[in-house]
Amino acid sequence: MEQQKLRELLESLHHELEQVDSLDESTSRVLCDLKEDLGRLAGQQGAADICRDEPFMERMNDAVDHFETDHPKLSMALQHVLDSLAKMGL
């Protein structure tokens, strides 16, 4: 059940990522890292290991903060993914 919810949240997050239109250098870098991390997570290749990776969690939290002002829907979608991962114990 949690895996299905995570997949749905990731799909929603990917949709929100596609809606980002202002790409300054910082935003572009955050988006690139985020897409790469989420691709690894969605592939379920060692998801538990990926989530325990401190830089991964830092990047996710930094992305939430980065998008909070200009892209609140994206920030909220990221936070939902982080909450779901926490509920799964990851």
Structural domain boundaries in the chain: 2-87
- Whole-number Å distance between alpha carbons of 48 and 16: 24
Q: Where are the beta strands (DSSP E) in 1-90?
A: none
Confidence class for position 77, pLDDT limits 50, 70, 90:
confident
Structure tokens at 33: 């890292």
CA-based nearest residue to 81, from 45, 32, 46, 35: 35
Q: Rounded to 5 degrees, what are φ and ψ at 43?
A: -75, -10
pTM reported for the whole predicted model = 0.72
Confidence class for position 47, pLDDT limits 50, 70, 90:
low
Structure tokens at 55: 């830089």
